[in-house]
Amino acid sequence: MRTKRTLMQLFGFLSTLLLCFLLTSNSYAKAPTKQDELNKRLQALDKYTKTLALIEQYYVEEQNITDLVDKSISGLLSNLDAHSSFLDEKGLSDMKMQTSGEFGGLGITVGMKDSALTVIAPIEGTPADKAGIKSGDVILRINGEATLGMNLNDAVDKMRGKPKSEITITIFRKGAQKPFDLTLKRDIIKVESVYAKMIEKDDILYLRVTTFDKNVAEQARKAIKANPKVKGIVLDLRNNPGGLLDQAIELTNLFVDKGIIVSQKGKIQAENKSYEAAKGKKATDATLVVLVNGGSASASEIVSGALQDLKRALIVGEKTFGKGSVQSIVPISKNEALRLTIARYYLPSGKTIQAVGLEPDIEVAAGKITSQDESFSIKESDLKQHLQGELEKIGAEKKASKNESKEDKNIITSKQINDDAQLKAAVDAVKILNIQRGSAK
């Protein structure tokens, strides 16, 4: 009996050992070797070169091999994500021009969102802004040509052209009954990236940043230093599509002197970086409120997100666009480069803004503050007297408009504030925070 039990145990042990051996050998057999990986790469490249050769040989129209390769690279990059792209000689030149603060076109920043050519933001004071183009608008056609499936760089190229030349774009806007056409005149776009005004009677500095070009941080520092005794600052980043990372970091550093502003993480260890506030660069301790909306993207989200996480500012407005990826310009020849997504941005709290955006502390929709005086209610018996009064008002308004034109352009009036519900909320927030500060002392 004991012998039988021993034989059974031995048989079980040997069976288990054999099973382990078979599983291990099977896993080794499945593990790809370096040679297997090399063969796969060679097969893929062989497929590509054969495809190019077949196109050259059989395609109905004559094809240039350089153009074919450029188009295939462009298609490859655009299929990775909405922000990666191939920059040919013209594209690289246009990009350098845009970050320098002056370029030609409509004054509109666009990107691909769910495969649709979507407006990130119009640049203030440009043809696109004056035509009423809004963040979130989808451009369906450019001069009658559908944008569906169009490369982002090609779309941008089609919207640029000679100054004063006309272009018609077809817009789909959420809430509109149907798409509509807008005809605009192209112009040389000179971007005033930073300007400052004072809020009338409140001793609050209004600091508007329209885009993050190479001049932003220095211009903002000058505006803050020129108004050292203000009771608060409203930093307006609405419809700011972003720009240079270093300028976003330096602008944030004007308001904080310690802590991580932003970090980035990618596939390559060398791209994993953290950017901290530098001591001695802080320019003000004034109460700070930041305005954002759906057109605030990339660098705008880094600044507002960092100031929110570091408890330095209150964020007012609407949820931001949600572009939190890092693009690097990688040269592949003297005049060509790849704009390649190499990492994602992370806020001080560790949150990402990619595709989710930033939630404001106080959500306020765009609009106008209405007052009781604007209502029109009148009895028939009072009609004549009322109309006489209205005529007098028209005369007074004409005089007022003449006086307004003479007013200081560096002042934001009470009327202008009431015409902008988000700005009104920001100004009120500065006042409340100052009261809280005073009571805490």
Residue 182 contacts residue 159 (beta carbons within 8 Å):
no
Residue 17's pLDDT band, with cuts at 50, 70 and 90, is: very low
**Mean pLDDT to the nearest integer, 1-7:** 47
**Mean pLDDT to the nearest integer, 415-428:** 95
**Mean pLDDT to the nearest integer, 290-301:** 96
- pLDDT score for 101: 56
Note the helical H segments in 227-367: 245-253, 299-309
SS3 180: strand
Note the helical H segments in 33-151: 34-58, 65-78, 89-100, 127-130
Q: Which amino acids are annotated catalytic?
A: 298, 309, 323
Number of Cβ within 10 Å of residue 216's Cβ equals: 25
Residues with Cβ within 8 Å of residue 307, at least 6 apart in sequence: 252, 255, 256, 288, 290, 313, 315
- DSSP single-letter state for residue 123: P
- pLDDT score for 95: 77
Q: What percent of the chain is modeled with pLDDT above 90?
A: 63
Residues with Cβ within 8 Å of residue 284, at least 6 apart in sequence: 224, 228, 233, 254, 255
- Degrees to nearest 5, angle at CA 277 with 100 and 340: 45
> What pTM did the predictor assign?
0.74
- pLDDT score for 163: 87
Structure tokens at 97: 């021009």
Residue 376's pLDDT band, with cuts at 50, 70 and 90, is: very low
Residue 75: pLDDT over 60? yes
**Mean pLDDT to the nearest integer, 14-23:** 48
Tens digit of each residue's pLDDT (9 = 90 or more) over 153-186: 789 889 988 888 999 999 999 999 999 999 999 9
Q: What percent of the chain is modeled with pLDDT above 70?
A: 82
Residue 13: pLDDT over 50? no
Residue 407: pLDDT over 60? no
- Looking at mean pLDDT, say which of 146-155, 192-201, 370-379 comes out highest: 192-201
- DSSP single-letter state for residue 178: S
**Closest by alpha carbon to 295, among 256, 337, 241, 254?**
241
Report the C-alpha gap between 130 and 120 in whole angstroms: 16
- pLDDT score for 7: 41
Residue 360's pLDDT band, with cuts at 50, 70 and 90, is: very high
Note the helical H segments in 101-244: 127-130, 152-159, 216-225
**Mean pLDDT to the nearest integer, 29-38:** 78
Q: Most distant CA pair in the chain: distance in Å?
A: 123
Write down how long the chain is.
Answer: 441
Tens digit of each residue's pLDDT (9 = 90 or more) over 103-147: 668 999 898 888 899 999 898 889 999 999 998 999 999 999 999
- pLDDT score for 375: 45
Residue 259's pLDDT band, with cuts at 50, 70 and 90, is: very high
Higher pLDDT, 124 or 99: 124
Residue with tokens 């901290």: 276
Residues with Cβ within 8 Å of residue 303, at least 6 apart in sequence: 235, 237, 248, 251, 252, 290
DSSP string, 369-411: ---GGG-----GGGHHHHHHHHHHHHHHHHHHHHHHHTS-TTE
Residue 371's pLDDT band, with cuts at 50, 70 and 90, is: low
**Mean pLDDT to the nearest integer, 419-439:** 93
Q: Considering the chain, what is the average pLDDT of its residues?
A: 85
Backbone angles phi, psi at 284, to 5 degrees: -160, 150
Residue 27: pLDDT over 70? no
* Crossing angle between the packed helical segments 299-309 and 245-253, to the nearest 10 degrees: 30
- pLDDT score for 45: 94
**Closest by alpha carbon to 246, among 267, 273, 266, 279?**
273
Residue 393's pLDDT band, with cuts at 50, 70 and 90, is: low
- pLDDT score for 398: 54
